[in-house]
């Protein structure tokens, strides 16, 4: 089992380095800005919602069910690979290298969606490209999140993390506006692109790939490669899982409520991810949103989510992270239940935006919860396990979403699967002691 130096001499968030420059912080946040093309454009609001789950691919019910199953498989792959990816890059000091490699795979898989023609025979290929893109995006995110410790100190880690989070939301808005006004809205878009043979949405995939590559370049140039910790021995593929098991056993003995929170947050964060993954799909397939409606809602939703995430900091500092998460999950369950039983675009506008409002605080306070629990000298280890457990549960919501559609025969009932995951996460969170009480 890996031995750690005393807490007084080891702290990933300080580590004896000078504070990062504004250029380095901006370069780091630019990756999140670029990643929005995959998250917002490809998997949430445009490519999957308006194209891959449309009538040309067998209808919304069938196509969204296949997509959900593909994402379930990708979630299992992430759960298996994420702990190995995080530990091996920490041990080897090749964090930036693997961030670049995994990002390149995301861009390549995104670009491959150009070859998804509007026919049901291309549905599996399209779902595979999106699902595999999710795997490499999450592996890249492990390295990206760990890089935060290279450019921050204990007094700035929250602010810098917030800058990256905001960059992702704003980058999504900018990318969506460009896609809509340059490609989707005009009858003849830029470079003479038309809707014939699905070309509008296929070119969106090329644009998204270029966006990802362009905004990943700054972090590769501005941030130095990580330095391997000499106290951490190199481990093989299977040994990485042994190390992970030792960490879990140590937490169970010394800080059980930390382990309880890791489990509960893994569950409810999967529900939060499902809201963004399937929200626009449900808006189109169940509530009758058109192309323009989806884009406008996407922009409004990103703005509301950003506001929610920023406001979470105030409430988090005043009341602690647990009340913020509990209230957010209750708000999500209430809003989702209304959408399950009511009809109409107006209903979705109101309660869909409420979903966006509550997602941001839940995400933000989950991260600060871990930060407040982390003992001195073990911050990096705990955040690594936080990422790993989140990926381990990432198959739950997509699987239940697809199962509920299959059982009840309509896309609307997939909402039940998401609500079940959020409720399970809330119930697991309730007995967890908040950080102040743990200390």
Three-class SS of the chain = CCCCCCHHHCCCCCCCCCCCCHHHHHHHHHHHHHHHHHHHHHHHHCHHHHHHCCHHHCCHHHHHHHHHHHHHHHHHHHHHHHHHHHHHHHHHCCHHHHHHHHHHHHHHHHHHHHHCCCCHHHHHHHHHHHHHHHHHHHHHHHHHHHHHHHCCCCCCHHHHHHHHHHHHHHHHHHHHHHHHHHHHCCCCCHHHCCCHHHHHHHHHHHHHHHHHHHHHHHHHHHCCCCCCCCCCCCCCHHHHHHHHHHHHHHHHHHCHHHHHHHHHHHHHHHHHHHHHHHHHHHHHHCCCCCHHHHHHHHHHHHHHHHHHHHHHHHHHHHHCHHHHHHHHHHHHHHHHHHHHHCCCHHHHHHHHHHHHHHHHHHHHHHHHHHHHHCCCCCHHHHHHHHHHHHHHCCCHHHHHHHHHHHHHCCHHHHHHHHHHHHHHHHHHHCCCCCHHHHC
Residue 378's pLDDT band (boundaries 50, 70, 90)?
low
Measure Cα distances from 27 to 198, 214, 224, 237, 329 in Å. 35, 11, 11, 31, 33
Q: Look up the CATH superfamily of 19-222+238-438.
A: MFS general substrate transporter like domains (1.20.1250.20)
Ranges 99-103, 167-171, 406-410, most confident:
99-103
Q: What are phi and psi of 219, to 5 degrees?
A: -65, -30
The pLDDT value given to residue 14: 37
Contact between 304 and 425 under an 8 Å Cβ cutoff? The reply is: no
The pLDDT value given to residue 200: 92
Higher per-residue pLDDT: 153 or 360: 360
Cα–Cα distance measured from residue 384 to residue 376, given in angstroms and rounded to the nearest whole number: 15
Cα–Cα distance measured from residue 80 to residue 83, given in angstroms and rounded to the nearest whole number: 7
Contact between 240 and 164 under an 8 Å Cβ cutoff? The reply is: no
Mean per-residue pLDDT over the chain, rounded: 82
C-alpha count within 13 angstroms, C-beta hemisphere, residue 386: 22
Crossing angle for the helix pair 345-373 and 321-341, to the nearest 10 degrees: 160
User: Does 246 have pLDDT greater than 50?
Assistant: yes
Residues 59-88: tens digit of each pLDDT: 878 888 898 889 888 878 887 787 777 666
The pLDDT value given to residue 148: 75
The pLDDT value given to residue 7: 31
Crossing angle for the helix pair 60-92 and 237-254, to the nearest 10 degrees: 90
Higher per-residue pLDDT: 159 or 198: 198
The pLDDT value given to residue 2: 40
Q: In the predicted model, what is the mean pLDDT of residues 171-192? A: 86
User: Does 287 have pLDDT greater than 90?
Assistant: no
The pLDDT value given to residue 6: 34
Residue whose token pair is 């739950």 = 396
The pLDDT value given to residue 160: 74
Residue 268's pLDDT band (boundaries 50, 70, 90)?
very high
Residue whose token pair is 């950080």 = 435
The pLDDT value given to residue 274: 86
Measure Cα distances from 293 to 80, 277, 377 in Å. 38, 17, 48
Higher per-residue pLDDT: 129 or 372: 129
The pLDDT value given to residue 257: 85
The pLDDT value given to residue 15: 41
Q: Domain-by-domain residue ranges, the chain?
A: 19-222+238-438
Higher per-residue pLDDT: 118 or 227: 118
Residues 13-46: tens digit of each pLDDT: 434 446 678 899 899 999 999 999 998 899 877 8
Residue 121's pLDDT band (boundaries 50, 70, 90)?
very high
The pLDDT value given to residue 102: 95
383: tokens are 């955040």
CA 386 to chain centre: 13
Give CA angle at 274 (383, 305), nearest 5°: 75
């Amino acid at each position: 089992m890996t031995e750690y130096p005393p807490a007084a001499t080891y702290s990933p968030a300080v580590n004896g380095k000078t504070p990062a420059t504004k250029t380095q912080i901006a370069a780091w946040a630019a990756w999140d800005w670029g990643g929005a093309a995959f998250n917002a454009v490809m998997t949430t609001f445009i490519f999957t919602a308006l194209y891959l789950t449309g009538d040309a691919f067998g209808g919304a019910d069938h196509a969204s069910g296949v997509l959900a199953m593909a994402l379930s498989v990708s979630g299992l792959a992430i759960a298996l690979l994420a702990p190995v990816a995080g530990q091996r890059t920490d041990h080897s000091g090749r964090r930036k290298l693997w961030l670049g490699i995994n990002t390149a795979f995301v861009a390549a898989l995104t670009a491959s969606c150009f070859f998804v023609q509007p026919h049901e025979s291309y549905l599996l290929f399209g779902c595979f490209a999106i699902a595999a893109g999710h795997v490499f995006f999450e592996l890249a995110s492990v390295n990206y999140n760990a890089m935060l410790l290279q450019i921050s100190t204990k007094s700035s880690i929250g602010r810098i993390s917030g800058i990256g989070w905001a960059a992702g939301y704003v980058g999504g808005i900018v990318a969506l506006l460009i896609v809509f006004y340059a490609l989707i809205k005009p009858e003849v878009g830029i470079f003479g692109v038309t809707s014939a043979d699905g070309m509008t949405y296929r070119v969106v995939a090329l644009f998204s790939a270029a966006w990802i590559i362009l905004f990943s370049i700054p972090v590769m140039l501005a941030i130095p490669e990580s330095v391997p910790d000499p106290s951490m021995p190199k481990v093989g593929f299977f040994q990485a899982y042994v190390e992970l098991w030792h960490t879990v056993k140590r937490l169970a003995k010394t800080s059980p409520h930390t382990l309880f929170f890791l489990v509960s947050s893994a569950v409810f964060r999967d529900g939060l991810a499902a809201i963004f993954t399937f929200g626009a799909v449900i808006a189109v397939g169940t509530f009758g949103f058109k192309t323009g409606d989806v884009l406008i809602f996407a922009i409004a939703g990103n703005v509301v989510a950003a506001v929610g995430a920023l406001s979470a900091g105030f409430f988090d500092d005043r009341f602690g992270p647990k009340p913020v998460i509990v209230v957010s999950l209750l708000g999500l369950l209430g809003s989702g239940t209304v959408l399950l039983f009511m009809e109409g675009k107006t209903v979705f506008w109101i309660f869909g935006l409420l979903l966006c409002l509550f997602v941001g605080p839940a995400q933000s306070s989950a991260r600060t919860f871990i930060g407040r629990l982390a003992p001195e000298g073990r911050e990096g280890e705990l955040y690594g396990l936080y990422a790993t457990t989140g990926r381990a549960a990432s198959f739950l919501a997509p699987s239940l979403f697809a199962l509920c559609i299959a059982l009840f025969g309509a896309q609307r009932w997939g909402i039940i699967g998401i609500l079940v995951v959020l409720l399970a996460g809330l119930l697991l969170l309730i007995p967890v002691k908040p950080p102040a009480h743990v200390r």
